[in-house]
Structure 1
């Protein structure tokens, strides 16, 4: 699979399964989707669903998918697999497939995903995907996994987690903006006398420290962060055989 994300969540396996398998719960924490709806299901066939992502207030890109899950496996793990496709001409993502694995591990659960997709728009789409879209999708997946972890472990709702992230992002941006403005005041301070001049010499160092803290300090414990997730598999992984039983929706 082209993209891989893993997190460890201290939660009940049934609770994690519900938050990830029920559409109304899934769409709350997953940044990649604005809407997820199950379609009427035919007995003994995989579950079909419709998804949508709101790109702008006036543009929503939709697609369809098919999924199947193994809730009880002999080794105690669970697996969910899906295939998806979007016919929307503005969707860079044409079709793809992926899986989720739920692996009990001591007092927690290793929750991991692997997925890949085929971009459209020819050579331009392939380049845009490699430089922009694929890194963005990897970040959004990891950020969403950490938001799910905060919901299950600490009771921070996805909506509150988003507000926490926006607030912290705004504070960091403000610190950088003030620092950049302050660097321009250095020469003016030197004209105000010896004390101000000494402050002017110290100002760049202090502002540089502030910028470094704003850019690199670890996020608060209630703020979701993609950096907390594993982005490469620790060992070689294979897609579940369950994926082979699913056909790409048309």
Structure 2
């Protein structure tokens, strides 16, 4: 194996051992919640040999990476713990992974199950592959594993199908990126780059300024850019969407006070702000019960 630390993810799921075992060991259920794979299927098992399986992962542009794996060990201890050990490999020319090994461990904790995985792998493409793995692929794979564990948790605990969760997560992410772009653009272009006269006029109509109007509008632009960057930060933004909708309502009122004639212009503040409020509502609706990889444990005790 390479010298990179293994990927480790742990979460606690309120489900029975048998139910969790079924959802993680049956291929038709496993592929539903694990975003790392698009297809998993068992091969015919020969007596006395490990169970082998095929897996496929779509990487876009009509391409997919296929490989094989096998269950090399399964232990049920007196404590009720279960362990499923796996190894996997592929000779696909586009795969960064060549050979890997890992395990799934199921530990009863009260009425819940502590579900954890650890795995590592060897990479292709020499030193270039190791650099890509260390700086891009491995962090993304670890995040995808954590996201999948949280999706499985929500499926078993609340009944939300992972495909629904994925659609919600994509909508939520799109809304955050869209609001970030709008705020950064509005702060950068009309207030800092162009210092548009209408922006200066509205600001002067609202308050007397102790500094130059151009400097003041650039300051406002900087604040808007900072607010735009906030939308890209990795935290749950459900309350922020509500705050944003109220903020837009207040800004609409201030624009009306400063320049009511602007409300009859093409692409006027009212039409833009109504759209922003609706976008905030969409974000708010899709921000509940999302898988949160940050809630998982990403480092095993004693692991450096």
TM-score (norm 1): 0.87
1:1-250 alignment, distance < 5 Å: 2-68=6-72, 70=74, 72-183=76-187, 184-186=189-191, 187-188=195-196, 189-192=199-202, 194-195=204-205, 200=217, 202=220, 204-205=222-223, 208-209=226-227, 211-218=229-236, 220-236=287-303
Which of 220-229 and 156-165 deviates more?
A: 220-229
Q: 1:125 and 1:165, CA in 2 relative to 1: closer, same or farther beyond 3 A?
A: same
* Number of residue-to-residue matches in the alignment: 237
Aligned partners of 1:175 and 1:211 also within 8 Å: no
Whole-Å separation in 2 of the counterparts to 1:15 and 1:68: 22
Q: How many Å apart are 1:108 and its aligned residue?
A: 1.5
- State the SS of the aligned residue for 1:61: strand
More helix by share: 2
TM-score (norm 2): 0.72
Q: CA deviation digits over 1:77-118, x for unaligned, max 9?
A: 111011110011111100010100011112321110000000
Q: CA deviation digits over 1:145-191, x for unaligned, max 9?
A: 11111111111101100011001001100110111111023332113
Q: Could you tell me which runs of 5 or more consecutive residues in structure 1 were left unpaired when the two chains were aligned.
A: 238-250
Q: How many Å apart are 1:216 and its aligned residue?
A: 3.6
Q: 1:217 and 1:210, CA in 2 relative to 1: closer, same or farther beyond 3 A?
A: farther
Higher-RCO chain (CA-CA 8 Å, sequence separation at least 6): 1
Q: How many Å apart are 1:69 and its aligned residue?
A: 5.0
Find the structure with the greater CA-based Rg. 2
Aligned partners of 2:74 and 2:84 also within 8 Å: yes
Q: 1:193 and 1:211, CA in 2 relative to 1: closer, same or farther beyond 3 A?
A: closer
Q: Could you tell me which runs of 5 or more consecutive residues in structure 2 were left unpaired when the two chains were aligned.
A: 210-215, 238-286
Whole-Å separation in 1 of the counterparts to 2:74 and 2:127: 38
